[in-house]
């Protein structure tokens, strides 16, 4: 299947955490190939509006919706509002996440709980509400799938990085959720897949590293650079496309060879 052109025209995508970083990259990548986009955000309203304007510049429709993915009632309202506006949801991307980096023996429970509420439970809410809607609406004429659900996880699901226990276990949990949901939704022809990004250049990384540290770290990555949000966006476009109609319960790792090498180049 050719991935060129506007092959998602007429489809509606909902992306959580879409105001910046990976979510923004995915929202814009989907818009570039024709999708209308529900731009979810929690606390960056101006950036969310900017993403919506870019979606519209690509010729798509956009709906900006503030909701904390950890708030189940707010998420239910968002899905209802998206359906009221666009009539259906064809693609749901559970991207929003949260992480506090600290060793287990020093971890404050409120940070652990918030990480799980957003990174694990928020993904569950997104996937469940999306699946319920997709089952109800069925397969649209001319399509082979009733919908595509894509979870953005992390190589933290595979590698036990120190000082990230809550985030690591949340990501491991959502990957298993993907496999479970894929099995349950196969009869309804709903594809459920997960992307494991590696070290990606996002605004959130600036919470943990200086610009100099990021530049230096990039030099030692196997591919010689950090990943970009566009790299992840293109992976999401593939999984949302007809080309991935026979792909479900799969993990797509986009990390420039980091996990395969299990080391930084030159170290």
**pLDDT tens string 7-17:** 999 999 999 99
CATH of the domain at 138: 3.40.50.720
Within a domain: 211: no
146 is in which domain, residue-wise? 12-204+229-261
pLDDT score for 53:
98
pLDDT score for 263:
57
| From 99, 154, 164, 241, the catalytic residue | 154
pLDDT score for 180:
98
| From 19, 99, 148, 167, the catalytic residue | 167
| From 19, 148, 153, 171, the catalytic residue | 171
Please confirm, yes or no, whether 98 is among the known catalytic residues.
no
pLDDT score for 1:
36
pLDDT score for 214:
74
Is 107's pLDDT higher than 90? yes
Q: How many domains does the chain have?
A: 1
**114-126: pLDDT as tens digits:** 999 999 999 999 9
CA nearest to 227, candidates 262, 252, 202: 202
Give the H/E segment covering residue 53.
helix 45-57
d(CA 112, CA 110): 6
Within a domain: 6: no
Q: Cβ(254)–Cβ(235) under 8 Å?
A: yes
Question: What average pLDDT does the segment 88-116 reach?
Answer: 97
Within a domain: 40: yes
Within a domain: 248: yes
Within a domain: 35: yes
Question: What average pLDDT does the segment 164-191 reach?
Answer: 98
Please confirm, yes or no, whether 167 is among the known catalytic residues.
yes
Portion of the chain with pLDDT greater than 90, in percent: 81
More confident residue, 73 or 3: 73
Helix orientation angle between 72-86 and 122-137, rounded to the nearest 10 degrees: 30
Please confirm, yes or no, whether 99 is among the known catalytic residues.
no
User: For the residues of 141-199, what is the DSSP string, one character each?
Assistant: TT-S-SEEEEEE--GGGTS--TTBHHHHHHHHHHHHHHHHHHHHHGGGTEEEEEEEE-S
pLDDT score for 2:
42
**24-61: pLDDT as tens digits:** 999 999 999 999 999 999 999 999 999 999 999 999 99
pLDDT score for 45:
97
Mean pLDDT, the chain, whole residue set = 93
**126-166: pLDDT as tens digits:** 999 999 999 999 998 888 899 999 999 999 999 999 999 99
Within a domain: 2: no
d(CA 254, CA 200): 9
More confident residue, 116 or 213: 116
Is 5's pLDDT higher than 70? no
Within a domain: 222: no
Within a domain: 130: yes
Most confident of 56-70, 130-144, 203-217: 56-70
Question: What average pLDDT does the segment 99-123 reach?
Answer: 97
């Amino acid at each position: 299947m050719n991935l060129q052109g506007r092959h998602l025209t007429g489809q509606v995508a909902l992306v959580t955490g879409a105001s910046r970083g990976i979510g923004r990259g995915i929202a814009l990548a989907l818009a570039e190939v024709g999708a209308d986009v529900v731009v979810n955000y929690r606390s960056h309203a101006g950036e969310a509006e900017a993403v919506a304007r870019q979606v519209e510049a690509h010729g798509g429709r956009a709906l900006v919706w503030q909701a904390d993915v950890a708030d189940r009632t707010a998420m239910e309202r968002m899905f209802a509002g998206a359906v009221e506006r666009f009539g259906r949801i064809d693609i749901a991307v559970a991207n929003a996440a949260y992480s506090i980096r600290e060793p287990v023996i020093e971890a404050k429970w409120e940070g652990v709980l918030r990480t799980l509420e957003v990174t694990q439970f928020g993904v569950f809410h997104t996937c469940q509400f999306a699946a319920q809607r997709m089952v109800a609406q069925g397969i649209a004429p001319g399509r082979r799938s009733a919908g595509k659900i894509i979870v953005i996880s992390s190589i933290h699901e595979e590698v036990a990085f120190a000082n990230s226990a809550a985030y690591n276990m949340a990501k491991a949990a959502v990957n298993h959720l993907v496999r479970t949901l894929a099995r349950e939704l196969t009869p309804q022809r709903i594809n459920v897949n997960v992307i494991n990004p590696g070290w990606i250049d996002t605004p959130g990384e600036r919470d943990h590293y200086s610009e100099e540290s990021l530049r230096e770290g990039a030099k030692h990555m196997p591919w010689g650079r950090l990943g970009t949000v566009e790299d992840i966006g293109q992976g999401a476009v593939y999984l949302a496309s007809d080309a991935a109609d026979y792909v479900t319960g799969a993990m797509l790792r986009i990390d420039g060879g980091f996990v395969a090498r299990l080391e930084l180049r030159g170290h």
